Amino acid sequence: MYEVGDLVQVNNDCAVTYFRGRIALVTKAAGHDVTDHSQGLYYSLQFSDGEEHIFPSIELSLLSKAERKNNENR
């Protein structure tokens, strides 16, 4: 669903109040929770303070897709 470099916002219904509404970059896909597939995929996010945290996709909203550059002609 999300790709590395996408800009996302943590939803206002996030379980941890501190993260509600915060904006971050997706740094990697962390996979599924094998015990609970209702959360969807998990993603590692990097926030503006440099901290990285993992969130389920249902707690995120896409703000901007990462631009991909074609390096084949370099």
At 14-66, the pLDDT tens digits run 989 999 999 999 999 998 888 877 778 999 999 999 999 999 999 999 999 98
CB 60 within 8 A of CB 24: no
Cα gap 10→56, rounded to integer Å: 10
pLDDT number for residue 60: 96
Q: Is residue 73 pLDDT above 70, yes or no?
A: no
